[in-house]
Chains A and B, each alone.
Chain A
């Protein structure tokens, strides 16, 4: 049996982004987040786990700057220049849906961030490289409607990678996929994470997915969303099918499921 700790891992490396008592109350009075505090450390794979409607996505949108918190602060690690490659504010975002432009080819979709940021110089090479990383090199000229669900999501991941972000924010990206495709994308995501050394914040409502992927799982309570507990998954990477069927994995899943059940009972949905 693993010896999971409920305490956050020691702050060996500084947080790239820290949420400090962040709250979000929408105009209609719904309290999505209340006093959410969370550190994301450099190179870490962190999952936000919680039932639907617990404010996980809202937290992610606040980190991305797509939504303003109504309380608390978001602090970023200081960097020298704004366009420094290590600047944590270089964000890649993957939505729950593939969110591709249906009128544009796969290559044009992946190129979009470069176009918008005016980084057109070596765009074709970067697009080709990003597509190769997700295994879609042969589909550059296809239109999104010609792709399967998994391939659309790969395109979406390639688009997030193309600017070489320091921080990847992923909002339940594989929730709508079938299990076989999801497992495969989980594996590929881990491989990408290991080879590229990105910091990843991954939102999910799947205990099994979060345990398989993460170094650290933040279990959240629903309405208002806040951190209930954190679980460190102390299993070495690379992880593969053997880990997925191991007693260690099952042990972590039970532990996290229990934490999630407890978190859900804290407040009534």
Chain B
């Protein structure tokens, strides 16, 4: 056995290393995985759909067989036709709620990350402001919303609500992420005389990225909740606007099918936001982060 110094690629051991790794990288994700993954993935999609179909069918049957009046419980069929007939009004309301939600989410994302970076750079600022961020978070938003409506015009108040609920998870997660930097890597940056800005951009922010994305995923759902809460608090005072307002108003009129139709749209909005953020997270992390890597057993 000869293990002499031979820098280069012709070494048997390095070659073995290489072959293993090449196999891992090249054959691992697709061909081997596809066979067992496909039925599993199909089940993950098909089973919830089957459950949904079953529940809807049962619901329809119960309403028809029991002759339940629509103001008590509308049938799925009626909800669907209401969705179509009221589409003009519902879609306008959806657009309002969606806009508020996305604006709130965007401000929360930018504000949360920016504030976390600021806290990370200055202890004085962190100690001074962090408690108030917590207070803003722990005070129930339902209780803050009416006050905001007193001082702000309705659209601004709704936006402020969406922002208040959504920004804290971004702030908290980003703060945690910025602190979870590998100590040796931090030393390495110090060794090469990295500036504060370089440490932040090249080390802390990339290291915090999985945490930030986790925070954003939570914030996406919460900003919708914030927008809805504020619309409901605004109630009939609100000049006809978002989906939550439609629900409140339809409730007053005992227009139950419309309540369900609006609720359905809200729920779909939440689902779309969640999947969109999951997709973004997956695309950003798939090459390197453990959470996004499919492990073969």
Contacts and interface: CB of A to CB of B under 8 A. Distances in A.
A46 interface: no
24 contacts: A66-B190, A66-B191, A93-B188, A95-B184, A95-B188, A101-B185, A103-B207, A103-B209, A103-B289, A116-B192, A116-B194, A116-B202, A117-B193, A135-B9, A146-B24, A146-B25, A147-B21, A148-B21, A150-B14, A163-B192, A180-B13, A183-B3, A191-B6, A240-B4
Contact of B7 (A64, A135, A145): A135
Interface in A178-197: 180-181, 183-184, 187-188, 190-192, 195
Interface of B: 1-9, 11, 13-14, 17-18, 20-21, 24-25, 182, 184-185, 187-194, 198, 202-203, 206-207, 209, 287-289, 293
B288 A103 contact: yes
Nearest to B1: A241
Contacts of A142: 21, 25
B202 A241 contact: no
Contacts of B20: 148
Interface in A191-213: 191-192, 195
A240 B5 contact: yes
B185 A99 contact: yes
Nearest to A98: B184
Interface string A88-120: 000101010101011110000000110111000
Main secondary structure of the interface of A (DSSP, over half): helix
B9 A138 contact: yes
B2 A241 contact: yes
A184 B7 contact: no
Contacts of A65: 191
Interface in A239-266: 240-241
A143 interface: yes
B282 to A, nearest CB: 14
B193 A116 contact: yes
A126 to B, nearest CB: 14
A64 B191 contact: yes
A135 B11 contact: yes
A191 B293 CA distance: 37
A175 interface: no
Given A66-B190, A135-B9, A181-B13, A143 B287 contact: yes
Nearest to A244: B3
Given A116-B202, A133-B7, A238-B5, A145 B13 contact: no
Question: Which 6 pairs show the lowest CB-CB distances between chains A and B?
Answer: A191-B5, A116-B192, A99-B184, A240-B4, A146-B25, A187-B5
Interface in A133-155: 133-135, 137-139, 142-148, 150-151
Sort chain A's interface into a size bin.
35 or more
Contacts of A93: 187-188, 191
Nearest to A184: B13
A145 to B, nearest CB: 6
A91 B191 contact: yes
Contacts of B2: 241
Given A93-B188, A101-B185, A138-B9, 6 more contacts: A66-B191, A95-B184, A103-B207, A103-B289, A145-B293, A146-B21
A66 B25 CA distance: 36
B7 to A, nearest CB: 5
A95, A143, A183 — most chain B CB neighbours (10 Å): A95
A113 B8 CA distance: 24
Contacts of B13: 180-181, 184
A150 B25 CA distance: 16
A242 B189 CA distance: 40
A101 B203 contact: yes
A239 to B, nearest CB: 9
B283 to A, nearest CB: 13
A64 B192 CA distance: 10
A101 B21 contact: no
Contacts of A144: 288
Contact of A150 (B17, B185, B289): B17
B3 A240 contact: yes
Contacts of A181: 13, 17
Contact of A148 (B3, B17, B288, B289): B17
Contact of B288 (A133, A145, A184): A145
Nearest to B10: A135
Contacts of B182: 99
Contacts of B194: 116
Contacts of B17: 148, 150-151, 181
Contacts of A134: 7
A36 B102 CA distance: 61
